[in-house]
Amino acid sequence: MGALTGQVAVVAGATRGAGRGIACALGEAGATVYCTGRTVRGRPSTFGRQETVEETAELVDAAGGTGIAVRVDHTEPDRVRELFDRVDSEQGRLDVLVNDLSGNDQLDFGMFSDRARRPFWENDPGTDLKALDVGIGAHFTTSHFAARLMIRRHRGLIVEIGDGNFVGYNNAGVAYSLMRTSEVVLAHLMAEELRPYQVAAVSLTPGFLRSEQMLEAFSVSEDNWRDAVTPGSDFGNSESPLYVGRAVVALAGDPHVMARTGHALSAGYLAREYGFTDADGSQPPGYRAESRFEEGLFAFYNGESG
């Protein structure tokens, strides 16, 4: 039996990247995982990607869990409500929600994208607002319906996946920075209202993630990615999507996770604390040390108080 056998998780944005890795790690731990996203077989991605939520659910099965693929546009509240009504009807519980919904595709975001690096006033505000609808609005909506199931049982974990466990400007631009900062702030704010119900909310960042798009950008695969590593390259410290997934599993299995509620966490730092590794047995370095808000200030947390 896995560490999370009998538990039920929803991974919102499980089609590819970190979301897929997280779903697979939850499957490794024996969980039942609802894998949601907009791209399903016969309805390809609007930005040229081929991965589907059905593939992710099959990978969850292969890892030892139970994968359930559900097409959901998380910017549509009625569809999100239907998702959690289904989870409640079929499972009667929800233990973990992971929000990995990204507005990157709306921004045409990529490591080589000139558009992502233009100042905000040179961009189309309508395009940026569509990205924020996914990167902020959909997170809020999804957490809204998930929380209703969790508080009923006085237990649960909500994980906001971001890009950097800090509050500030990201070199990819204002809209992207606003999405990523909001994930950190949202976890902190939700934690304040969820704490009496023993439901934890945290934000979590991977390090240099070897997503499908990143591997393609370097013209390598997961099998030969080290061929693209050059002296002094940050890519040498990159991590597979499974690594941040195992961080989620560690948090979900920690009986003292409430001590971390509201905090901004990093997969690499958690790996050293909990002892998990990446798929190849390595422990890539973390992004930044654990941080949190305290009396209105956001700063490094030394773990001395709850």
Tokens 């941040």, residue located: 244
3-state secondary structure of 233: coil
List helix spans (H) across the chain: 17-28, 53-63, 77-91, 104-107, 125-132, 138-153, 174-194, 212-217, 241-252, 267-274
The distance from CA 151 to its chain's CA centroid, rounded to whole angstroms, is 21
**Annotated active-site residue in 34, 169, 176, 287:** 176
Q: How far apart (Å, rounded) are the C-alpha atoms in residues 255 and 28?
A: 19
Total residues found in the chain within this entry? 306
Active site residue 176: yes
Edge-to-edge strand list for the sheet holding 297-300: 66-71, 32-37, 8-12, 96-99, 156-161, 199-205, 264-266, 291-294, 297-300
Q: How far apart (Å, rounded) are the C-alpha atoms in residues 189 and 160?
A: 12
3-state secondary structure 8-27: EEEEECCCCHHHHHHHHHHH
3-state secondary structure of 202: strand
Q: Which amino acid is at 160?
A: E
Quick check: 293 and 264 in contact, CB under 8 A?
A: no
Q: How far apart (Å, rounded) are the C-alpha atoms in residues 250 and 179?
A: 25
Q: What are phi and psi of 155, to 5 degrees?
A: -165, 150
- Catalytic residue numbers read 176
